[in-house]
Amino acid sequence: MSDSVEPTSNSTQTIDPIKATQHWLDTMVVGLNLCPFAAPVVNTDALKMVNSSATDVEAIITEVLMQLDLIQQADETEISTSLLIFSAALENFDDYWGAVELAEELLHEAGLAEMIQIASFHPDYCFEGVEQDDVSNYTNRSPYPMMHFIREAQLSRALQNYPDPENIPTRNIERLQQLGKEEILKRLKMPSSK
């Protein structure tokens, strides 16, 4: 069995990237409380999910710039946070990581580094210095390569009211270790009815 997160269901139908991402958010991110700040936003219109059809670097850059522009121009009640899903590109983790680094450069060049943060998620996510099959990688494994655009001010407000936020990653890893890889993969599997 593969260690990567795969956007497949029990049927032979193609899985909609938005539905696969919603399932991942519901079962992992919110369901396991991996991000204690996600629940209030996940099932609202303030979460924007965009399935990118970009297949080359130029198109990916355009999509990233569009998301940066969109989130910085919108009120946070309209768009609280945004997920840019790359269902047609960046399958290779190293290529994806290069795109994340490029997105970070664009963020700084646009003067938005104090306003927006980019979090990274990928089906084959692997933390530096960690074995590929270590369950800790599942804190950042998603059904498709994606970038999460987070408002810094909103995150800062959430962190002020959360006890011990610096230990969130450690708690997440412990939670996933307690579950074990088999249970994690079960949670990630899309039901055929979706």
Name the residue with higher pLDDT: 194 or 44. 44
Residue 9 confidence (pLDDT) above 70: no
Name the residue with higher pLDDT: 12 or 128. 128
Can you give the residue ranges of every domain in the chain?
Answer: 17-184
The mean of the pLDDT values for the chain is 91
Phi then psi dihedrals of residue 47, to 5 deg: -95, 120
What is this structure's pTM?
0.90
Phi then psi dihedrals of residue 85, to 5 deg: -100, 125
What is the per-residue burial (b if ≥16 Cβ within 10 Å, else e) of 151-170? beebbeebeeeeeeeeebee
Sequence-distant (6+) residues with CB within 8 A of 89 are 52, 54, 55, 56, 59, 60, 95, 145
| Percentage of the residues of the chain whose pLDDT score is greater than 70 | 92
